Amino acid sequence: MKTRFPNMTRTLDEWLAYQEHVNVRSIELGLDRVREVWQRMGAPAPARRVITVGGTNGKGSTVAMLEGMLAAAGQRVGCYTSPHLLHYRERIRIEGVDASDEALIGSFERIEAARGEIPLTYFEFGTLAALDLFSRAGLDVAVLEVGLGGRLDAVNLVDADVAIITTVDLDHMDWLGPDRDSIGVEKAGIARAGHPAIVGENEPPAGLLGALQRIGAQVERAGIDFTAERLAHGWRWQHRDGTRLNLPAPALEAPVQYANAAAAVAAIHALRGIDAPLATCDLGAMAAAGIRTARVAGRLQSLGGDPALIVDVGHNPQAARALAQWLDAHPGGRVHAVYGALSDKDVGGVISALGERIDHWHLAGLEHDTPRGLSAHVLAGQLALALPEARHDLHDNVGAALDAALRLARPGERVLAFGSCFVAAAVLAESAARKSA
């Protein structure tokens, strides 16, 4: 374990830099260390009720919809999500407001005092800070997004009143297992015996369902216990108990957002069954408000312009298939991709999922942004294997790739920047800088 920095300063940036040195491992799954620190802090309940959201993709969007639904019912809501795009404060929201530097610093000081010589990862510091700040805010509901997997993720310190597993697909395989069944077992770990577990996809892996059964969770499956039916205007959500809701289209763009919305509605429906204050609230009004108002940065986010600039955090094959589905549903001019990726991602699977929908690839190196970042040359090798005829250029960084794509694209065409949170963050920051110039 690294020794502590002497004369600890009190800026948020310095605290975050310090946390990167407390544990020699950037990822260390397991609850023993973080649970011990949490117990030393008094193991405070973060809220009256807790919804935990896990899954391969769709977690952040589902959290945003839940937040909107609960806020519409007058509930005091806290949300913990990761990673952030532009600032660490984005990770912790209380009643829709990002945590302040001062609040985070105070929480980190309490965590540091409690941990003694126990090494914590960067993510574990953040999770404990969220639980600490939520417990001090008098919340009705805390919505917690799993960082990696579920069973051994720090978020799983807290027993969920309702758990959601949005999707299960191949990602983080070095940590979670080689196939959907083994990954599903890990993600099922956020569920609790006797409590609702919402399964958000119609064809979940057997490993997930078997693990949920062994846990003793009350499983509610998309396509069986609740359904989402697209209509000419909006869509209909229906539960096996006879509840039927006609709802507006999600504000979030991708077609997969209907499945995320359906899972969020199912979670609120289940929570109303066990929480007296929520039981009297109008489920239809709650659901409509959350679906209509939810916004999440970097999820098929349009930044305007002509050619249009669109940014998405999609980084695995399942997310790439969702992007392909959106492009098919919105035909238009040529598509120029700004693409960067990390070393633990299935680059070939992402490229193959999009295929010839991309007319020109601008490959951006991320090796200067993170030790896990791939160079443009490595990306080019993967592109050559998946799409040998694909047109492409190589760039040292996201900014250079974005500039080149915008120069090459003509009016009526689109620039789609995706592949990593590092790509999305760089494009959002560059867009904001151009607008303020």
DSSP 236-277: EEEETTS-EEEEPPPSS-STTHHHHHHHHHHHHHHHHTT-HH
pLDDT for residue 1 is more than 50: no
Residue with tokens 């991320």: 366
Which of 181, 183, 188, 179 has its CA nearest to residue 211?
Answer: 188
Of these ranges, 250-259, 260-269, 274-283, the one predicted with the greatest mean pLDDT is 260-269
Strands across the sheet with 244-247, in order?
226-230, 235-239, 244-247
Q: Which of 267, 55, 66, 261 is nearest to 166 (CA)?
A: 55
pLDDT tens for 100-152 read 999 999 999 999 999 999 999 999 999 999 999 999 999 999 999 999 888 99
- For residues 404 and 393, is the Cβ–Cβ distance under 8 A? yes
SS3 139: coil
With pLDDT > 70 as the criterion, what percentage of the chain qualifies? 97
- Both tokens of 382, joined, read 């993967």
Show the DSSP H helices in 363-420 as ranges. 376-386, 398-408
- The whole-number pLDDT of residue 22 equals 83
Window from 12-26, 85-99, 124-138, 226-240 with minimum mean pLDDT: 12-26
Pull the structure tokens for residue 71: 């806020």
Contact 172, 344 (CB under 8 A): yes
pLDDT band of residue 6 (cuts 50, 70, 90) is very low
Q: How confident is the model at residue 437 (pLDDT cuts 50, 70, 90)?
A: low
Query: Strand 360-364 vs strand 392-395: parallel, antiparallel, or unpaired?
Result: parallel
Before 255, cis peptide (omega within 30)? no
Mean pLDDT, rounded, for 351-364: 96
pLDDT at 5: 44
Q: Whole-angstrom Cα distance, residue 268 to residue 23?
A: 37
Q: Quote the pLDDT of residue 433.
A: 81
Closest CA to 55 of 244, 183, 143, 182: 183
Is residue 85 over pLDDT 80? yes
Q: End-to-end CA distance of the chain, in Å?
A: 45
- List the structure tokens of 3: 């020794």
pLDDT, tens only, 288-324: 999 999 999 999 999 999 999 999 999 899 999 999 9
C-alpha closest to that of 148 among 232, 230, 25, 237: 25
Residue 239's pLDDT band (cuts 50, 70, 90) = very high
Per DSSP (E only), the strands in 64-215 are: 77-80, 92-94, 97-98, 141-145, 162-165, 196-199
Q: How many angstroms separate the CA atoms of 30 and 293, rounded?
A: 36
Mean pLDDT of the chain: 93
Tokens of 165: 């597993």
Going from the C-alpha of 45 to that of each of 38, 134, 140, 172, 298, the distances in angstroms are: 10, 8, 11, 30, 31
CA distances from 245 to 59, 237, 283, 288, 355 (A): 23, 5, 8, 9, 37
Which tokens hold the place of 55? 């899954």
